[in-house]
Amino acid sequence: MSGAPGVAVGVGYRRALDRWLGDHLHHFDVIEITVDHCLSGNAVSAAIYDLVGRVPLTAHGIGLSIGTDAPLDLAYLDRVATVIDRLGAPHYSEHLAFTRVPGRDLANLLPLPKTEATAVMVIDKVRQVQSCLSVPFLLENIAYLFDWPDSTFSEAEFFGLICGETGAGMLLDIANLHANAGNHRFDAYEFLDALPAAIVKQVHIAGGIVIEGDFPVQPLLADSHSHPVPEAAFELLDYALARCAPASVILERDERLDATAEILDDMARIRAHLACPIEKHPDTEAIAGSTS
Amino acid sequence: MLARQAELLEYLTSSPAIFGDNPARLRPPDGFDRRLLDLEARLSHNKRLAKIRSVFARTFEILGTDAEALVREFTDAHPPTAIDTLENARQFCHFLSAHWVRELPAPRHLPDVARCELAMAEVGAAGRPSRGSPPKFAPQQWAECSIRRAPGVKLLRCSYAIRSIFERQSTATVPQLRDTPLAIVMLGGSDRPQVFEVSGFVFELLAALDDFAHSSTLGVTSGLARLLGELAEHELIEVCP
């Protein structure tokens, strides 16, 4: 079903989509599973494991908080490793962010100060994660509303440093990049140019909303995963695909899940963009050549 | 850096940041743009509240405009400690219980509704354990089997007959004050938990059947055999021949 050879196209599993997904698996090359939903052995995990063997699955996490400056929760990581093995996932992705400190969990992804000291801390954590897993580890860029005052690296440099030191890949979230560029007034294309092309192993894409209101950022681009992917995000996808060779492009959808026609339409649009002849960046040709 | 992360999270989960109350009470960490932090705090709080509201839809409907003050009190007293919807819901339910010890709930059946909604969420999250069809036993066979409360069944003893609120999808009804034993279960073929009102005897029986017990210990009569058949049919007990 893929629009471009070697690039799988899929969607993130959500409980509310379960029955619909089961009936429409033929539309997807891959389904992304949030591993945290498999940890409690509940109804959701049973439905997810029912997909094993029916469609390729990838593993994504939301609960690691790798950026918290405290020891990693190794028990959590052990459980995640078990889930990954059971899913047969080819890699595991998490966010380059923090969500909690001991005793308090915002349950929302927060940025890290992009400094050398933070990079050293995260690099150590990434190596621990890698030592616990049997599959490659990917780090995802988040959507953020504020930045730390002491950041010294750009986000692209920060990813390049951490991924370069550890061999971890990057999960490039196009929607987050699009929202950040709009909210913080930077050039998303320059961000993509500054990324080492070889680090991008997977892509997320989604549609958010624009919120007008009494915000310090106006208008606010919210990464709500609620609407069709905007054309501007597809233009960024095209640009990224000319520079990197991801294994898969995953559509994220968390709201208005009853609008399944929009999901299928987005899938078709992703495939159409993958099928478009893209003038490859010279570095990408080299990557594709080295991995084929 | 952990201390700075903790300071940031303390600010982002505080009432001054979320509601703009009394901004002098807590200053944001040095160097950050307060307006952006406050926006992050509000959006994060809204996400948390959406999780809680998804569990306590009827409780919030009954609370009406009183909910706002309660939510503020809850936010101040109970910063988020987990990402999980159920954990946040349990936190909110514990807060409500403690609040209603200090102040009488209005209406008085509200604690029952809240506890029932939490129980339904817990049963729904656990899902329906895989089990076969209930056995079609002859009456005498019920005296020679082992039974236990079906895994996933929640028992709840309420002071008001609140089941009507869940049956009629309406919170306008004022339920009758009477002892109301409930059993909440996820039935096969259903995507939401069912709330059964059971007799006091059945409630006690189900409560006692944590583990498999041989039915002969119950002194099975033809009446009890019929009852066990019904309980098995409604997936409230699990039977091992």
Residues B139 and B218 in one domain: yes
Q: pLDDT value at position B6?
A: 97
Mean of pLDDT over chain A:
90
What residues in B contact A145, CB-CB < 8 Å?
36, 39-40, 43
B120, part of any domain: no
Q: pLDDT value at position A4?
A: 54
* Range B78-104 average pLDDT: 95
pLDDT band of B226, cuts 50, 70, 90 = confident
B137, part of any domain: yes
* Separation in Å, CA A101 to CA A174, B18, B129, B217: 28, 19, 35, 52
Give the SS3 label for residue A124: helix
Q: Which residues pair with B194 in a beta bridge?
A: B185
B118, part of any domain: no
| Cα(B81)–Cα(A102) distance, integer angstroms | 9
- What domain range is B144 assigned to? 128-240
Tally Cβ neighbours within 10 Å of residue B65: 6
The pLDDT of residue A222 is above 50: yes
Q: pLDDT value at position A211?
A: 80
B194, part of any domain: yes
| Cα(B78)–Cα(A38) distance, integer angstroms | 27
Split into its structural domains, chain A has a count of 1
Residues B83 and B162 in one domain: no
Q: Supply the ipTM of this predicted assembly.
A: 0.89
Q: pLDDT value at position B38?
A: 92
Mean of pLDDT over chain B:
89
More confident residue, B84 or A219: B84
Q: How far is CA B153 from the centre of its chain?
A: 12
B113, part of any domain: no
Q: pLDDT value at position A68?
A: 98
A residues 206..235 contacting B (CB < 8 A): 215-217, 220, 222
Residues B25 and B72 in one domain: yes
pLDDT band of B7, cuts 50, 70, 90 = very high
DSSP B109-176: THHHHHHHHHHHHHHHHH------PPP---GGGGGGSEEEEPTT-EEEEEEE-THHHHHTT-S-S---
Q: pLDDT value at position B25?
A: 77
- DSSP H helices in A144-230: 155-166, 174-184, 188-194
pLDDT, one tens digit per residue, over A263-272 is 999 999 999 9
pLDDT, one tens digit per residue, over A51-110 is 999 999 999 999 999 999 999 999 999 999 999 999 999 999 999 999 999 999 999 999
* Range B86-94 average pLDDT: 96
Q: pLDDT value at position A292?
A: 30
A2, part of any domain: no
Say what percent of chain A tops pLDDT 90: 77
User: Nearest C-alpha of chain B: how many angstroms from A92?
Assistant: 20
User: Nearest C-alpha of chain B: how many angstroms from A65?
Assistant: 11
A3, part of any domain: no
CATH number of the domain enclosing A200: 3.20.20.150
pLDDT band of A3, cuts 50, 70, 90 = very low
- What domain range is A109 assigned to? 8-291
pLDDT, one tens digit per residue, over A32-47 is 999 999 987 677 888 8
pLDDT band of A282, cuts 50, 70, 90 = low
Q: Which amino acid is at A187?
A: D
The pLDDT of residue A158 is above 50: yes
A200, part of any domain: yes
Cβ-Cβ pairs closer than 8 A, A with B, add up to 90
More confident residue, A126 or A277: A126
More confident residue, A187 or A44: A187
Q: pLDDT value at position A5?
A: 62
- Which of A36, A104, A148 lies nearest to residue B79, judging by beta carbons? A104
Of A167-171, B90-94, B126-130, where does mean pLDDT reach its minimum?
A: B126-130
Residues B235 and B135 in one domain: yes
pLDDT, one tens digit per residue, over A244-263 is 999 999 999 998 999 999 99
Q: pLDDT value at position A291?
A: 37
What residues in B contact A222, CB-CB < 8 Å?
43
Q: Which residues pair with A100 in a beta bridge?
A: A105
Spatial CA neighbour of B183 closest among B227, B161, B153, B146:
B153
B42, part of any domain: yes
Say what percent of chain A tops pLDDT 70: 92
Residues B18 and B87 in one domain: yes
What residues in A contact B2, CB-CB < 8 Å?
68-70, 101
B residues 166..195 contacting A (CB < 8 A): 186
B159, part of any domain: yes
Q: pLDDT value at position B131?
A: 63
Split into its structural domains, chain B has a count of 2
What residues in A contact B39, CB-CB < 8 Å?
145, 215-217, 220
Residues B226 and B178 in one domain: yes
Q: pLDDT value at position A288?
A: 45
Q: pLDDT value at position B169?
A: 65
